[in-house]
Structure 1
Amino acid sequence: MKTFSFDTKPFEAMLLGPARAYAALSIDYTEKLVATQLDTAKAYTDTGLAQARVLLDVRDADGLRNYIEGQQQFAKNMAERIKGDAEKVVSLNQDFMQQSQKLAESSLKQAQQAQQASTGQADKA
């Protein structure tokens, strides 16, 4: 009785390997994105609470005027912070897309090589 041997290398090269690599890439991306979002949320929360505390310290008209004047600088700082945070997310997205593209190209090349190797083995048999 002849036993049938199934070569899993092409299956690994064409499907499982690339799927694992993409899953790892996706998990790394998600981890970086969530960390960025948490840092951003904490910074915005801390800033908002600090502004609320400053407002609580207003006791007179001069204090209110100083607070309002300080709001211009606060708005400028927040606009810069928001711009920087958006740039971080865009950079993360671009990096993920580039790595995904490289992974897809590499996976396609490996799959083609595995297919050629499999076809060569089948021709020998």
Structure 2
Amino acid sequence: MNKAAEKTSQQFESVFVSPMRSYTLAALNYYEQLVGAQMDAARAYSDMTIAQARTWLDVKDADSFKKAMESQQKTAADLMERMKGDSEKVTSISQSFMQDSQKMAEETTKKAVETAKQ
């Protein structure tokens, strides 16, 4: 009787508990990466905005106004590039998580089938 309970406990660990731990770890890693990417992006956008505001504070004449306008155009182009890169990064993080989750689900299903056969 004790051996049967131990076997059932091992099967439960193998089929349910261990895969849930793996999935939870993958989800935590995903959210950590996602939040990190979002924080990096927010910091970069804030830095760009503050730098641009400082540029406009230096406008004193037509020449400095022209330089501020040029800076604004460059900042807008840099911002668009940054947003594109950030979007690609988030997409990559999400795709990786999705692939890992799918692989774990397939492995869990395989283990469950093997355990059911025993």
Fold in common (TM above 0.5)? yes
**Rg larger in structure:** 1
- The one-character-per-residue Cα deviations of 1:8-57 (angstroms, maximum 9, x if unpaired) are 12211221111111000000101111111111111111111111111111
- Structure number with higher relative contact order (C-alpha < 8 Å, ≥ 6 residues apart): 1
Unaligned segments of structure 1, at least 5 residues: 118-125
TM-score for the superposition, normalised by structure 1: 0.86
Assess if the C-alpha contact under 8 Å between 2:48 and 2:75 holds in 1.
Answer: no
Assess if the C-alpha contact under 8 Å between 1:10 and 1:115 holds in 2.
Answer: no
TM-score for the superposition, normalised by structure 2: 0.91
Q: Which has the higher helix share?
A: 2
Unaligned segments of structure 2, at least 5 residues: none
Q: Which residue of 1 aligns with 2:30?
A: 29
Query: Structure 1 counterpart of 2:88, which letter?
Result: E
Q: Which residue of 2 aligns with 1:47?
A: 48
Residues 1:4 and 1:53: Cα distance change in structure 2 (over 3 Å): same
Over the matched positions of the two proteins, sequence identity in percent amounts to: 42
Query: How far apart are residue 69 of structure 1 and its match?
Result: 2.1
Structure 1 segments, 4+ long, off by >4 Å, are: 2-5
The answer on 1:13 being equivalent to 2:14 is yes
Assess if the C-alpha contact under 8 Å between 2:41 and 2:86 holds in 1.
Answer: yes
